[in-house]
Amino acid sequence: MASLQSSAISLSFSSSLGRFSSASTFPQKTRIYKLPVVQSKIREIFMPALSSTMTEGKIVSWVKSEGDVLSKGEAVVVVESDKADMDVETFYDGILAAIVVNEGESAPVGAPIGLLAETEDEIAEAKAKAQGQSGGSSSGSPTTPEPVIEAQSAAGVSSDGPRKIVATPSAKKLAKQHKVDINKVNGSGPFGRITSEDVEKAAGITPAPSKSISPPPPAAPAVGTPVKAAPASLPEIPGATIVPFTTMQVAVSKNMVESLSVPTFRVGYPVITDALDALYLKVKKKGVTMTALLAKAAAMALAQHPVVNSSCKDGKSFTYNSSINIAVAVAINGGLITPVLQDADKLDLYLLSEKWKELVEKARAKQLQPHEYNSGTFTLSNLGMFGVDRFDAILPPGQGAIMAVGASKPTVVANADGFFSVKNKMLVNVTADHRIVYGADLAAFLQTFSKIVEDPECLTM
């Protein structure tokens, strides 16, 4: 039987190749088959950027627990951004092998917060990897980056296949400049983030030692010049409690400080509201709020004065916005948020009111989507409902103007003939970016707004 098989093989080669008459004359070579290496797939669940201003997020709760089987598109964790709480979904099927960032803890955008294993065999490896990452990010005792890298290497990070590179913008720019493959650079920052120093080390660049220059002796103050005393640290008040900012409060603080860099000016204007108050009484039973009426009036006025709806993003040019999106300030538990009524000039009053109620409900439940709070082109802040007669509002970054509306109160006014009467009047103050909006622009806008409010029938058309 063996000879028949040998003969058959010889005939096969001789008939197909012709040059070899027998198997003995054919050069025998041992073919080596390389079996494909099956690499374990442990994927990282990253902290997403839920808004353009978000730099870090806080884990509100994990919807899934370690060991749960996940399907693509399924919600895994709830993250608190600087504006809202949002569900984060997984992009892959797998098993939630390890949780890196626990509930109540924070992590920078792009950092791994959990590990997803493809099979049960990889869970132990994922847990070992998670221990290395969580050890480097623990808030207990400070640790150096080296143990984190060693723990990741021991967990088999290099054999996981493609991984997401987390690097600082300066590191990416430096890598491109020195032609360094950033995929091969080991990061020494938090959660393995690649820093500029890591790229310089990979490129073989030795940082120049900083020269210590002794400061010159302070010049003696001129005679009669008051000497400024060094700012003294504020004394601690006994019994005071320090409460850290929430993620939203950090964002509000950052925006308020950023707004100080914009040169602004303010213009106030009195508006008679008798006709608007009468209209409100008619439409209130249909669910229309005063906020919706004011937002609609502001949007119609902005349509006639587009420069007030513009913005200055680079300090060198106007950005005229094609849409009129009215952001309205809403106080919520633990912060402030501005839901946006998009295309407010195009929506009828009743649809605008329904949209506003929906946005307020989502804002208080911290379920607003990014486009529902970061797309405003003009902001309206109304404290009139609290009896405040006038106030100034701080201009939000990226917008050209913000309107502060006070309460409508009975006021004695004189007409053109000198006769006195009592009318309801509210004071409106607008804060604007003086780089793009000038005094005459704002005065014309307020005149138009006043005419719409004093003859508000156009609001219902």
Query: So which residues are the catalytic ones?
Result: 434
Mapping DSSP onto H, E and C, the string for 374-403 reads CCCCEEEEECHHHCCCCCCCCCCCCCCEEE
Q: From CA 99, how far away is CA 284, in angstroms rounded?
A: 50
Question: What is d(CA 446, CA 351) in angstroms, rounded to the nearest whole number?
Answer: 25
Contact at 8 Å (CB) between 266 and 428?
Answer: no
Angle at 70 between CA 65 and CA 73, to 5 degrees: 120
Residue type, 181: D
In angstroms, the Cα distances linking 101 to 57, 138, 189 are 11, 9, 16
Q: Are 98 and 77 in contact (CB under 8 A)?
A: no
CB neighbour list of residue 303: distance below 8 Å, 6 or more residues apart = 324, 345
Give the 3-state secondary structure of residue 370.
helix
Q: How far, in Å, CA of 129 to CA of 40, rounded?
A: 13
Q: Which of 341, 328, 330, 399 is nearest to 372 (CA)?
A: 341
- The rounded distance, in Å, linking the Cα atoms of 80 and 366 is 9
Where in 36-170 does DSSP place strands (E)? 42-46, 56-62, 69-70, 75-80, 85-89, 94-99, 106-108, 112-117
Tokens 């719409």 map to which residue?
452
Would you say 129 and 42 are in contact if contact means Cβ atoms under 8 Å apart? yes
Q: Which helix (H) or strand (E) holds 409?
A: strand 409-414
Cβ neighbours for 158, distance < 8 A, ≥ 6 positions apart: none
Contact between residue 263 and residue 308 where contact means Cβ atoms under 8 Å apart: no
